[in-house]
Amino acid sequence: MNEALLQVENLKKYYPIKGGKFGKVSETVRAVDGVSFSVREGETLGIVGESGCGKSTTGRMIMRLIEPTEGKIIFQNRNIMELSKREMRKARKDIQMIFQDPFASLNPRHTVGHIIEEPMIVHRMGDKKERQKRVEELLELVGLNAYHARRYPHQFSGGQRQRIGIARALAVRPKVIIADEPVSALDVSVQSQVLNLLKDLQKQFHLTYIFIAHDLSVVRHISDRVGVMYLGKIVELSECEALYNHPQHPYTKALLSAVPVPDPDVKTDRIILQGDVPSPAHPPAGCAFHDRCPAAMDICSKEMPMLKTLEDGRKISCHLY
Amino acid sequence: MFYYSIKRLLMLIPVLLGMTLIVFAIIHAIPGNPALTILGTKATPEAIHSLNRSLGLDNPWYIQYFSYLKDILSGDLGTSIQTHTPIASEIWPHLAATIELSFIAMIIAVFVGINAGIISAWKQNTVLDYTAMILALIGVSMPVFWLGLLEQWGFSIKLQWLPSIGRDDIRNSVDPITNLYLLDTLLQGRFDQFWMVLRHLILPSIALATIPTAIIARMTRSSMLEVLKSDYIRTAKAKGQKMVWIVYKYALKNAFIPILTVIGLQTGLLLGGAILTETIFGWPGVGLYIYNAIQYRDYPVIQSGILVIAFIFVMVNFVVDLLYGLFDPRIKYR
Amino acid sequence: MPQASQAQLDPSGAPAKSPMTFALGEFWKSFRKNKPAIAGTIIVLLFIFFAIFAGFLAPQGINDQNIRLKLQPPSAAHWFGTDDFGRDILSRILFGARLSLRVGFLSVIGSIVVGTLLGIIAGYFGKALDVIISRFFDILLAFPSILLSIAIVAILGPSLNNALVAIAIVNVPVFGRLVRSRVLTVKEEEYVMAARSIGMGDARIIFQHILPNSIAPIIVQGTLNIATAILDAAGLGFLGMGAQAPLPEWGKMLSDSREYIQTAPWTVLFPGLAIVLVVVGFNLIGDGLRDALDPRMKN
């Protein structure tokens, strides 16, 4: 296996809530609470979880779009957290991002050509002519036409806009792309086209993806390894097929049992979770999942389980193992 | 509610401090030596030097500011150059005159403005609505001083219905107790004088009320239009309640918050407009006091006059903030 | 590939049309239907015309005195009558349009430039700077505006230009707060997040992404503020804190002729009418712009 290109250690983001008398910090929301994982060169790491579990925050913290409260992000043997603002801006050349909402992430006042060219202007790549040539190449690369450069985002469909977003991310030849729910705003029929495009581009340019999504089947389709998040923590991380075929953590099992199966004759044992996801401001003591876990034991409400590595290389955070 | 009030009160402190700093800066930014202004151009250098020392003007500015702050907190607003009297002792009659005038103007503005707005919204797109809104537009565009002059010309000079100058007749002046003349004449049982004072109030208070009336009318109309469209109004209508009843009871209650905000903001306009109105109508309020001080370059009076008016404005908005909760149960005091 | 076949191949079909042009078209469509706004535009254009061509239009110069013809009522020779120096009031009002419009436009431009700068700093960089700037705005807004203008003019000395500066300063927080809140909103848009993610610097984000998306409300507020700036300048002129004699500033004209109100009411009537008309004009345009540019801003 390749060595880790990007390594995240004990990443945390706490938001203080001001309230109570005279604006004292009354409580803290632990949006991300000690996440660690590593990504190898050329692979796709999927991150799944329900909305509000902290997966998007994690993605944005890797780019330092949101400043982490604590933790290390090591990229190519350098801790990104120690970079100055200016160095960080340069480092973003190597890590790019694709956003969820193709309608909101493109400035409606700029032409598509300008949107794709902008990263190259920012990183001072080539002269105007070279950049425009590259814009045209990129447009064709993502399955659009060179003449689309003169158009504005509102003249494109959602799928086309997401292709524009991908072209923008590719413009500066990054090594890592963080895709934050890149297809969840798209029609199902368009989703697979965009996913296949992402796969092709990965092969062609040897890209590394961190793929964040709530849709389990989408993640399965594209990922080599998958991490499952619950309330700001990774509960299980493993090879994709192993995770989907033999889920170990009770939460993963419950999530997978909720995926609809195309064949109506197949009877699945659906695990229905009790209650709602607790507020990240008041996570339950011990294991954050214990109050909804069908297999909860006494220890679960007292002690927080550590992330353990099982024999098959799977990482899991549960007292059952 | 209690904690909220305390918190709001504490938040006032930086604003009030900033106000004193600005007012302090004004007097110190004015070109020329204050001692020279006080003593006149024929003063000897020694006299200027000793006055400088006794005024503390040879100290660095922050020391001067702190002693200024100390003076204000102990109720010392400085001494008028013109009359050589402490401003704190001579400002109250002026302040009372301005309060009386502004209060009456606010009552007019709220009463006329809210009713005009409600009727406009209720009879939307009728001649009544258009007339009210055109009047409101002209109202917000009206220079107060011009309107005042026209009133004097029409109602005092031509028609001779109402007095155009001052708070009372010189030959029949009110014996001040609180200096709020309407109150004083009532306390003394002088109903003839009460009537006289009221007649003096009519023209200036209408002039002063014009712009706030127009703004309140426009604001009321648009917030009423929104409320009248809502489901609970339709329900009330369906239940067969009388429209007048619905409009005034249900709708007004919900439209009151934005209106309250405007009233809070209008107080500033009213107090600012007072300087123009009082100048025209010879109304002996703080506005005229400041205006006369400007003519005489009586800087301590300008300084303290502005400070007092700004202080009142800030306090009115503080009270308005607290009143929100009484009218809107959705606002939680945290 | 020839242009024509490209258009056919293009799935979206529409020719490249900037959203700006698109928005302008939409805006004009809705503004044109707004009769009061059109009326306001005509009034303001008329006054701008007066201001530019006052030299040709005015029957007399602003200081052509003729004591024998003082305080003449309106007549064929002097449509608006004459004042206490026998000067033609119509001519003075036409030239006065120059002064009032200049104060209105320049002071608002000044407030917009400074207010926008401070608003961006407060909204974009936040933290301590935001607290300081916002408090500063709060404090300035704690003074009734005309009183603060008076105080500033007292420092600078009474003149029309100093009145202009004072009015500009007093209105800075109005635009500062507006821009700050726009910046806070736009900053959370995903395309700004995207701009940061490609490594874009703050200056470029502000000028490329945030400012262009904050312009509409600034224009609306600016138009409405021209109206109040003209009113305030006239008020300062009336109090002797603005334009000085013999400038034909409308507020100053009113205060000079108030003692003749009994014998020559026209000396008071016409300058005041001019103020009301031009202020109504700007208010109508401002209301129309608000309705057309941003229906949500309707209050």
Which of residues A24 and C109 earns the better pLDDT score? C109
> Tens digit of pLDDT for each residue in C7-21?
333 444 444 555 556
Could you tell me if B268 lies within 8 Å of chain C, comparing CB atoms?
yes
Q: Which residues of B touch A22 (CB under 8 A)?
A: 3, 7, 10
Whether residue C156 is contained in a domain is answered as yes
Q: Distance from B69 to chain C by nearest Cα, in Å?
A: 16
Q: Report yes or no: C210 and C120 within 8 Å, Cβ to Cβ.
A: yes
Mean of per-residue pLDDT scores for chain B: 83
Residues A44 and A178 occupy one common structural domain: yes
Q: Distance from B311 to chain A by nearest Cα, in Å?
A: 24
Q: What is the ipTM of this complex?
A: 0.84
Whether residue C202 is contained in a domain is answered as yes
Looking at residue A266, what is its pLDDT? Answer: 65
Distance between CA atoms of residues A73 and A63, nearest Å: 9
Nearest alpha-carbon partner for B14 in A74, C132, C29: C132
- Looking at residue B132, its amino acid is A
Whether residue A318 is contained in a domain is answered as no
What is the pairing mode between strands A4-19 and A95-98? Answer: unpaired
**Least trusted range by pLDDT, from A33-47, A261-275, B302-316, C273-287:** A261-275
Per the structure, how many domains does chain A have?
Answer: 2
Percent of chain A residues topping a pLDDT of 90 = 36
Locate A103 and state its tokens: 């309608």
Whether residue A314 is contained in a domain is answered as no
- Angle, helices C89-120/C266-293, rounded to nearest 10 degrees: 40
Domain of A141 in residue numbering reads as 108-172
Looking at residue A189, what is its pLDDT? Answer: 86
Residue B253 above 80 pLDDT? no
> Tens digit of pLDDT for each residue in C191-240?
888 888 888 888 888 888 888 888 888 998 999 999 999 999 999 999 88
Per the structure, how many domains does chain C have?
Answer: 1
Residue B58 above 80 pLDDT? no
Residue A10, classed as helix, strand or coil, is strand
Q: Chain C interface, mutation test: which of B16, B141, B157, B312, most C Cβ atoms within 10 Å? A: B141
Residues A76 and A119 occupy one common structural domain: no
Percent of chain B residues topping a pLDDT of 90 = 20
CATH topology of domain B91-327: MetI-like fold (1.10.3720)
State the average pLDDT over residues B193-198.
Answer: 88
Q: How confident is the model at residue C40 (pLDDT cuts 50, 70, 90)?
A: very high
Residue C23 above 70 pLDDT? no
Nearest alpha-carbon partner for A290 in A307, A306, A273: A273
Q: Report yes or no: B246 and B233 within 8 Å, Cβ to Cβ.
A: yes
Looking at residue B112, what is its pLDDT? Answer: 93
Residues A19 and A89 occupy one common structural domain: yes
Whether residue A45 is contained in a domain is answered as yes
> Tens digit of pLDDT for each residue in C48-107?
999 999 888 878 877 777 777 777 788 877 788 888 777 888 888 999 999 999 999 999
State the average pLDDT over residues B267-282.
Answer: 87
Residues A180 and A167 occupy one common structural domain: no
CB contact (8 A) between residue C268 and residue B150: yes
Q: HSE-up of A68 (CA within 13 Å, CB side)? A: 28
Looking at residue A25, what is its pLDDT? Answer: 61
Could you tell me if C19 lies within 8 Å of chain A, comparing CB atoms?
yes
Q: Which residues of A touch C212 (CB under 8 A)?
A: 109
Whether residue C11 is contained in a domain is answered as no
Domain of C252 in residue numbering reads as 32-56+90-297
Q: Which residues of B touch A21 (CB under 8 A)?
A: 3, 7
- Looking at residue B145, its amino acid is F
User: For tokens 């969840």, what's the residue?
Assistant: A184
Mean of per-residue pLDDT scores for chain C: 84
pTM of the model: 0.80
Whether residue A134 is contained in a domain is answered as yes
Distance between CA atoms of residues C99 and C233, nearest Å: 10
Whether residue C230 is contained in a domain is answered as yes
Whether residue A303 is contained in a domain is answered as no
Looking at residue B328, what is its pLDDT? Answer: 60
Q: What is the CATH number of the domain that holds A243?
A: 3.40.50.300
> Tens digit of pLDDT for each residue in B97-144?
999 999 999 889 988 998 899 889 888 889 999 999 999 999 999 999
Looking at residue C10, what is its pLDDT? Answer: 42
> Tens digit of pLDDT for each residue in A19-48?
554 555 667 888 888 899 999 999 999 999
Q: Which secondary-structure segment (H or E) carries A5?
A: strand A4-19
Nearest CB partner across the interface for C190, out of A104, A119, A154 = A104
- Count Cβ neighbours within 10 Å for each residue of B186-213 and write b for 16 or more, e otherwise: eeeebeebbebbeebbbbbbbbbbbbbb
Whether residue A310 is contained in a domain is answered as no
State the average pLDDT over residues B143-147.
Answer: 92
Residues A240 and A128 occupy one common structural domain: no
Residues A134 and A185 occupy one common structural domain: no
Whether residue C168 is contained in a domain is answered as yes
Locate A243 and state its tokens: 């995770």
Whether residue A17 is contained in a domain is answered as yes
Residues A30 and A158 occupy one common structural domain: no
Residues A56 and A133 occupy one common structural domain: no
Distance between CA atoms of residues B108 and B105, nearest Å: 5
Total Cβ atoms within 10 A of residue C16: 16
Which residue pairs from A74-78 have beta carbons closer than 8 angstroms and sit at least 24 positions apart in sequence? A74/A6, A74/A7, A74/A8, A74/A9, A75/A5, A75/A6, A75/A7, A75/A176, A76/A5, A76/A175
Looking at residue B135, what is its pLDDT? Answer: 93
- Looking at residue B192, its amino acid is D
**Least trusted range by pLDDT, from A131-145, A287-301, B314-328:** B314-328
Whether residue A296 is contained in a domain is answered as no
The 3-class secondary structure across B259-287, one letter per residue, is HHHHHHHHHHHHHHHHHHHHHHHCCCCHH
Distance between CA atoms of residues B8 and B220, nearest Å: 27
Q: Chain B interface, mutation test: which of C43, C100, C239, C257, most B Cβ atoms within 10 Å? A: C239
CB contact (8 A) between residue A20 and residue B334: yes
Q: What is the CATH number of the domain that holds C288?
A: 1.10.3720.10
Residues A53 and A73 occupy one common structural domain: yes
Q: Which residues of A touch C209 (CB under 8 A)?
A: 107
CB contact (8 A) between residue C193 and residue A160: no
CB contact (8 A) between residue B334 and residue A22: no
Where in chain B are the domains? 2-73, 91-327
State the average pLDDT over residues C239-264.
Answer: 87
Residues A89 and A187 occupy one common structural domain: yes
